[in-house]
């Protein structure tokens, strides 16, 4: 085996680990070259959205289900941490953990009956959950602050080291996002991940092969809700302010668009989809009024021309072209 073949074999074997390492180095060095607080704030928001989208992609892309209400769990995490740490004066880190456990219980109670449904019926059930929570956040003024939002949320800190600026938050948020990315990569390559892939392909066939489809769907739904709760808690403590409009049904739709554009069933695609849809309004600030229409148009185009998702579809197209070129060269 030549040195080139050995390197190719090593890269193929450790491709995911090397990619995570390269991304980690990029994240580590980025603030040294770009210290603009606005740019760092935008990349920090990408990290938060990535955490939510990674969990949602496990549910949509790997379990083959659909949720149009994941902003509800995002909002529960944000408001739960905000109320716990501000109104009740609890330490932020334990509060985040407590809220994540409570959100997991809510997801379990909602998921057991809701996941008996499928397709459009499940989508409507999750959409209804989001609508109910958004209404509660708007109407329960004395607890949530109502339409005016909830402010005065304390910053996160480790001892005396406080994550009080965009530079420090960059490392915290991207550190958490990379850990969640590693969790998802390991999960989808495990026996659980293969069971979820079988479930997404054909639920009846998966059940015939011994996969407990009902339990698997509930478990991945709860996990995705917990990740959304974690992202919501980080969002609340990073921005020190939350409002109901940050967790409405349009936010849920944007999260689904991030999953679809990045590629359903693609962990790395989740990162790309979250980045694109987060940054897109900044590139198209002149179309701010029509943001939802622009996002919807992109979603329709991707579904028509690249139904696997933008990243997955482009990678597959490149692979096919390279394979065709190699076959032509071999024939010649």
Supply the pLDDT for residue 216.
Answer: 87
Q: Is the dihedral of CA 64, 67, 71, 77 positive or negative?
A: negative
Which pLDDT band, with edges at 50, 70 and 90, does 264 fall under? confident
Q: Which residue from 155, 194, 183 is spatially nearest to 267, judged by alpha carbons?
A: 183
Across 38-50, average pLDDT: 93
Across 139-143, average pLDDT: 90
Can you state the angle between helices 70-82 and 37-57, rounded to 10 degrees? Answer: 120
Supply the pLDDT for residue 12.
Answer: 55
As a whole number of angstroms, the distance between CA 314 and CA 295 comes to 19
CA angle 165, 167, 169 (to 5 degrees): 70
Supply the pLDDT for residue 18.
Answer: 75
Judging by DSSP bridges, how do beta strands 241-242 and 161-162 pair with one another? unpaired
Which pLDDT band, with edges at 50, 70 and 90, does 308 fall under? low
Which pLDDT band, with edges at 50, 70 and 90, does 283 fall under? confident
Across the chain, what does the average pLDDT equal? Answer: 85
pTM for this entry: 0.89
Outline where the chain has alpha helix (H).
3-13, 15-33, 37-57, 70-82, 92-114, 119-139, 141-144, 166-189, 191-201, 203-208, 213-239, 249-262, 267-283, 291-305, 310-331
């Amino acid at each position: 085996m030549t040195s080139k073949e050995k390197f190719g074999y090593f890269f193929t074997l450790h491709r995911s680990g090397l990619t995570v390492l390269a991304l980690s180095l990029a994240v580590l060095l980025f603030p040294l070259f770009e210290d603009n607080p606005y740019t760092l704030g935008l990349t920090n928001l990408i990290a938060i959205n990535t955490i939510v989208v990674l969990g949602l992609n496990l549910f949509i892309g790997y379990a083959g289900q659909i949720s149009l209400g994941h902003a509800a769990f995002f909002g529960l995490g944000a408001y739960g941490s905000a109320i716990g740490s501000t109104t009740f004066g609890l330490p932020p880190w334990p509060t985040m953990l407590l809220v994540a456990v409570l959100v997991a219980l809510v997801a379990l109670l909602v998921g057991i009956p809701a996941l008996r449904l499928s397709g459009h019926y499940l989508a409507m059930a999750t959409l209804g959950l989001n609508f109910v929570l958004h209404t509660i956040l708007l109407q329960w003024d004395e607890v949530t602050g109502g339409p005016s939002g909830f402010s005065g949320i304390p910053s996160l800190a480790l001892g005396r080291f406080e994550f009080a600026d965009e530079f420090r938050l960059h490392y915290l948020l991207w550190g958490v996002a990379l850990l969640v990315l590693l969790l998802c990569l390991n999960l989808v390559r495990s026996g659980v991940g293969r069971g979820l892939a079988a479930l997404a392909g054909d639920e009846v066939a998966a059940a015939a092969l011994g996969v407990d489809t009902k339990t698997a769907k509930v478990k991945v739904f709860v996990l995705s809700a917990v990740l959304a709760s974690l992202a919501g808690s980080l969002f609340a403590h990073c921005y020190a302010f939350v409002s109901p409009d940050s967790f409405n049904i349009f936010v849920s739709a944007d999260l689904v668009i991030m999953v679809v554009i990045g590629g359903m069933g693609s962990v790395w695609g989740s990162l790309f989809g979250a980045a694109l849809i987060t940054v897109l309004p900044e590139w198209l600030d002149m179309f701010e009024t029509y943001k939802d229409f622009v996002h919807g148009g992109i979603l329709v185009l991707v579904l028509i021309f690249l139904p696997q998702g933008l990243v997955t579809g482009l990678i597959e197209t490149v692979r096919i072209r390279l394979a065709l070129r190699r076959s032509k060269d071999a024939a010649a």
